[in-house]
Each structure stands twice: as C-alpha cells, then as structure tokens.
Structure 1
Amino acid sequence: MVYIAHGNVDFKNEAIFSILSYLEICDNADKLTIIVYTDSALYFESVLGQQGNIIYEEIDSAQWQAWRGDIDFVHRAKIEVIKHALEKNGGNILYLDSDTFFLKDPKPIYNAIESGIHFLHVREGLIANGSPLHIAIYDFLMAHPAEEWSAISIHTAMYNAGAIGLSRKDLKLLIQTISLTDKLYRAYPSHVMEQLAFSIVLNQNGPAGEVAPFVLHYWHMKEVRSELDKFFGENAGKPLPILLARLREFPIVEASSQKDIWEKRHRWQRALMRLMGIGWKWPANHRKLL
C-alpha cells in the first residue's frame, strides 16, 4: 500500500488517519507493507510509533520537483511515485490519496490485482456529459484533434484516481500514463489530467475495477482537516490501541454522506439556505446534519 504525504501537515494527518483506519478494520494488518513517501518520517512515527510493516521513503524537494516534470504538475508526481514503488518493491500495489478512509478489508482488491485486474477509485461517468469541467475538457480536445488523444470519444469514462491498484506487470502502462498526462496537460492544464490519462490507458487494457466499496475518498470535504488537527491534538502521545478505539468515534462516514447530500442540492438552493443561516456543518456529537 502506498501513500504520498509531502509538505503541508494536513496531508500527513490525513495519511495517518487513513493508515489507522486500515489497521483498525483489517485482520492481520501487520502482514501488509505500507510505504509512505514523505518529507518527515519522524512526524508519522510520533503518532504511529515504529511499526515494522511501515516503510518511509524520504523525498527531498529536488526529487519531488523532478517527479512533477517539466509541466510542473503536482499530480504527475503521483504516477512517478507508483512507478518508483513498483520498480523498487515489485508485487501488487494499492496507491491511496491521503484523504481516504477504509470501509472494509481490501484483501479482495489485492486478489483481483494478482489476477490481472486494474483498479481506480470510482467511475464518475462519461467525460462527454459529466461535470462542467469534464465537458469543457472533452469539447476542447475534440475541437483540437491530435493523435495523442485520438482514443477519447463520447464513450470515454472518467474515473476518480484517488485510489489506484496495479501490479509490477503494469509498469509499461504507467509509462504510457505519464506520457499521456504530459501531452494532455500541455494541451489543457487542468488538475484532472492525470485521472483522465489513467482512465484512458487502464481501460484500453481491460475495464478498471472500483475501489469505492472498500475505501471512502473524501476529496470534497476539506473541513475534515481542522477536525483531524483537533483529533490528533487531543490524542497526542496516546498509544496505538487508544487511537484505534477513538477512531471509531470519529464521524467521517456520516459527515461525507451528508456533505454529498448538501452538494447535490442546486446552487441556488444552497445560496438561499445560507442566507437563512442554514448550511452544512461538521457533525457535533453525531447529531443529524442539515
């Protein structure tokens, strides 16, 4: 399992929380190697202690910048990290963004990766009729045809890349994804171009499975960061068993579900509700959210 937690402490807190959720929910969790690409292994060890199955790859600024490439794209580094981890360690890898939380044991995912299935987090829909951003990207690429993105059509599905499952046999696909990301980003510099590249390359090599039933990806809920800061502050110095017990009291699944409901309202509805003093808030003491 692979994480990136470089720079801001918020990313480190999220990654630690994700690791805790794995340790809490999975039997024999110590049998799986967890690799964290970070600039501060000491920060992780101050919370998690020294765990024999957690390896820290210290990343300096120069290496991080090199992985961003000459397009200077932060999410390009994600692909390079997965490539580095597979080249160095082999085996099967489940990469996770830091803002993730385990819902159940991912063992079936690893078994499927071993059998040759690739994974992304969740299918978001067809790019041609998806979010306004996805439609804008599709329209631009169709208006500027090029061999590099000739595989894109009205049937192209966009997947969220907050979780990626691959094996060492897929290194060639990562090289293709890096190349396509560079070309797409140069044409249309959007923060979703690495997930579009993954969506195209992986689905050209068999349909991608979805990690979503096993892992919550709360990318839309930045409010969690202040709550995690409180959580780790209140539990500073506590041993791992106490952290795992208190993890169960943290209402992240409820909060994410209710944030989804809030954001599915029309923009004018949300604006009107805010004028009335009604808005989405982090759940207090597990009270029902608006």
Structure 2
Amino acid sequence: MDLLFLTFGPNIKNHYQANFCILSFLKQRTAVNSINVYTDHPEFYTRLGDLVNVVQVTKAQLQEWEGEHNFFWRVKIKAIEDFMLKGGQHPVVYLDSDTFLHQDASSFTQQLSQGVAFMHEHEGKLSELKSKTDKIMWSQVKGKAFGGVTITDRSSMWNAGVVAIPAQKNLEAIRLALHICDDMCTAGVTRRLIEQFAIAVALDHTYGLHPASPWIGHYWSTKDDWNEVITAFFLESSLKTYTLEQDIERMRRFDFSQLPIRKKVKNTRIRLIKLVDKLFPVKAMAYVEKQ
C-alpha cells in the first residue's frame, strides 16, 4: 500500500503527529510500498530521509484545489486524486496526521489487495444521526442524486481519518467522490462534513466499505492527551540523540493502549470552563525586561 498524508500550515503539532504516525507504519516496513507527504512545510520531514517522498504544495495549488465553490476540505479529495494520477499501482491509504498503526497490518493489506475499501469508522446512517448539523444535511440530500448517486436512508457517514482505496477502480472512485462533493456544494448543502460524506458514498458505491479501526487508531477527540505523549517521545529522542532506526525500534515497544482515543466532553462543561475564564481571568503576569 502507498501511504498518503496532507499536512499544511506552521502548527508544529500537525507535523509531529504525522511523523509519529509514519514511525508507527515504519515498524512494519514490508507492508508499505511508499510513504508520501503533501505539505507546504517540507522541513518537518527531513529526518525521515529517503524513507518518505515529500511533495511540496503551494498556497496557490491548495486554493485551486478548493474549486469554484472555495470549499477548503475539497483539497483532501484532490490530493488523493493527484497522487493516483502519478501512480496508482498499489492501494492508496490516506491518513489524517492524528492516526497511528497499532496492530499487525497483514490482514488489512491483504483485504485491500482483494478490493476491500476502508474508512476509519462507521458513524451511522445519515438518516438516523442525531446532531443538528446531521439532521439539516439529511433534509438537504435525502432522495436527491449527487454525482449520479441517489442518497437514500441507507447512505452512511464514515469517519475520514482513514481513507483506504483498493487499486482496482481507484481513480473512478475518487473522481466520483469529487463529483458528489462538487454537486453538493452547488446545491448549497451544509458544508461541515461534505467531503467526508462524499468519500463515504463514493467508496461504498464503488467497493463497499469496512472499518479500519481494528488496525488504525484515530485520536481526533483526545489530541491534547496524545500531543503531550508524542512531544515527550520526540523530546527524549532529541535529548538522547536517538537515530531514526532507534526511534522505529522504540515504536515497536510503544504502548498504544495507555491513552484513550475517544472521549466525549459535555458542552455544558465547555461552557462552564469558558465562563470561569471570563469571570476570573489570569492577572498580574510578569515578564523579563528586554535589554
């Protein structure tokens, strides 16, 4: 399989998350044909050397990928399409930076080679999801065709932290996702999860979908906890001057079960914290004087 990452912007957290994920796959190097990073900050990947193919993207290119409707997350679909146009011989596995491989990948890669597609997790049929945004989206798309595919009460939302596409019909599938995404933008569908739903509908229509979560963790809701652990991992590596191969060996011993990958925080708690910060702001801060 060919791994694909898309990281952009100066926030170092996104880049050390991607480095951490890459190391988790390098511990099973035989399962990976290539590792590819589309980024506007290639300097964050120099330590990985020739183990990673870095493709520098520009702000202008990202803007072009947003399309005529200026939908930012369309760039995820375009990056996958761009990579497929340059290769396409192996299954492509797109990964958000906040993911990692935590199990033996052999059965995952075997199923991919046999034409099974994956996204991270099944979040439910859109018609049955309970959030306000999901209900609005369902009311906008039910019974309508986008990209030639009619949305029914069985059409499902899948988490797009992992998008694993078999080599068979890969370009056909990702272009269908792009068509669905563009048609939804044209129709004025609420934009929050359009690209995710478009990819899910396209892959399910083309291949059928299965969850990648048995092999790949996605800590999107617990990033603060994981960022602290990942920072410590790379800080120790820097202070002790570990080699890349030593870090890969450390990754083989890493306990991925030490932290949760999902947690639900009540909105009331968030509102109360913001209220306390507003009522009792931090004061009397002191700084050293500039010379």
TM range (shorter): 0.7 to 0.9
**Aligned partners of 2:254 and 2:221: how far apart in 1?**
17
Percentage of identical aligned residues:
25
Distance change (3 Å), C-alpha of 1:254 and 1:171? same
The equivalent of 2:185 in structure 1 is 185
Return the index of the structure with the highest Cα Rg. 2
**Aligned partners of 2:73 and 2:271: how far apart in 1?**
35
The equivalent of 2:13 in structure 1 is 10
Aligned letter for 2:20? F
Number of corresponding residues: 264
Give the TM-score of the pair, scaled to structure 1: 0.80
User: How far off its partner does 1:196 sit?
Assistant: 0.6
> Do the aligned residues in 2 keep the contact of 1:128 with 1:135 (CA within 8 Å)?
yes
Aligned letter for 2:118? F
The equivalent of 1:213 in structure 2 is 214
> Do the aligned residues in 1 keep the contact of 2:120 with 2:162 (CA within 8 Å)?
yes
Question: Does 2:207 correspond to 1:239?
Answer: no
Q: CA RMSD in A?
A: 2.9
The equivalent of 1:279 in structure 2 is none
User: How far off its partner does 1:32 sit?
Assistant: 2.3
**Aligned partners of 2:254 and 2:106: how far apart in 1?**
24
Aligned letter for 1:214? W
User: How far off its partner does 1:171 sit?
Assistant: 0.5
Distance change (3 Å), C-alpha of 1:204 and 1:17? same
Query: Where in structure 1 are there 5+ consecutive unaligned residues?
Result: 275-290
User: How far off its partner does 1:27 sit?
Assistant: 5.5
**Aligned partners of 1:70 and 1:272: how far apart in 2?**
37
User: How far off its partner does 1:75 sit?
Assistant: 2.0
CA distances 1:160-180 after superposition (whole Å, capped 9, x unpaired) = 111111126320121111111
Distance change (3 Å), C-alpha of 1:75 and 1:107? farther
CA distances 1:259-287 after superposition (whole Å, capped 9, x unpaired) = 43xx1x7656x57998xxxxxxxxxxxxx
In the TM superposition, 1:1-290 aligns within 5 A as 1-7=3-9, 8-24=11-27, 26=28, 28=30, 32-46=33-47, 48=48, 50-51=49-50, 53-91=51-89, 92-132=91-131, 133-142=133-142, 146-148=144-146, 151-166=150-165, 167=167, 169-186=169-186, 187-223=188-224, 224-236=226-238, 237-247=241-251, 253-257=257-261, 259-260=262-263, 263=264
**Aligned partners of 1:176 and 1:84: how far apart in 2?**
14
Query: Where in structure 2 are there 5+ consecutive unaligned residues?
Result: 274-291
Distance change (3 Å), C-alpha of 1:84 and 1:271? closer
Aligned letter for 1:3? F
Q: Secondary structure at the match of 1:161?
A: coil
